Structure 1
Amino acid sequence: MTTVSIKGMSCPHCVASVTKALQAIPGISNIEVNLEKNEATYRGDVSKDVVKEAIAGIGFEVVGYPT
C-alpha cells in the first residue's frame, strides 16, 4: 500500500472527491481516504507524479509520501 499526505481536505465531500480522482487512475485499487489523518492509501504501481497531478487537479495539494 502507498500512502499520500494531502493538504486541504475538510469534509466528507473532499474525501469523495479525492477517492473519485484516484479511482480514475488506471492501475490503482484498494483506495482509502482518511479525513482525520489527511491521507489516502492505495494499491498500485503508479507514478507518484500521476497521483499528485490527479489530486492537484481537483484543488488539493500532495504534501508528502510518509512511509
Structure 2
Amino acid sequence: MSTTTFRVDGMTCGHCVRAVTEELTALPGVTDVTVDLVTGGSSPVTVTSDAPLDRSAVEAAVVEAGYAVTPTRSLL
C-alpha cells in the first residue's frame, strides 16, 4: 500500500473535486482518493494505491480533469 499527497490548483467546488477524483480513481492500482478543497488555492489531494504511482501518470490524470498539479519547490 502506498499513499501520496500532492496539491492541485484551480479547484473551486464539489464538481471540481469529483472530476479530479474520477480521473485519479481510473489509474491502475488506485484504491482511494481524498481531496481537501481549498477554494481558489492549492488543494491537498491524497491518493492511496496498491503500489507507488508514476508522477507523470498522476499529473496527466489531473490535467485530463482540467486542473494542474502544483509544482514541487526545491528547498535550496
Q: TM-score range by the shorter chain?
A: 0.7 to 0.9
2:32 matches 1:30: yes
Partner of 1:61: 68
Contact 1:4 1:64 in 2 (8 A): no
Aligned length: 66
Q: Secondary structure at the match of 1:54?
A: helix
2:22 matches 1:20: yes
The TM-score with structure 1 as length reference comes to 0.86
Gap regions ≥5 residues in structure 2: none
In structure 2, C-alpha distance between the alignment counterparts of 1:64 and 1:28, rounded to whole Å: 22
* Deviates further, 27-36 or 16-25: 27-36
Higher RCO (Cα < 8 Å, 6 or more apart): 1
In structure 1, C-alpha distance between the alignment counterparts of 2:72 and 2:34, rounded to whole Å: 15
Identity of aligned residues (%): 32
2:41 matches 1:46: no
Give the counterpart letter for 1:34 in structure 2. D
Q: Which has the larger radius of gyration?
A: 2
The TM-score with structure 2 as length reference comes to 0.77
Q: Output one character per residue of 1:23-46: Cα deviation in whole Å (capped at 9) or x when no partner.
A: 110111121011126121011221
Could you say what the CA RMSD is over the residues aligned between the two structures, in angstroms?
A: 1.7
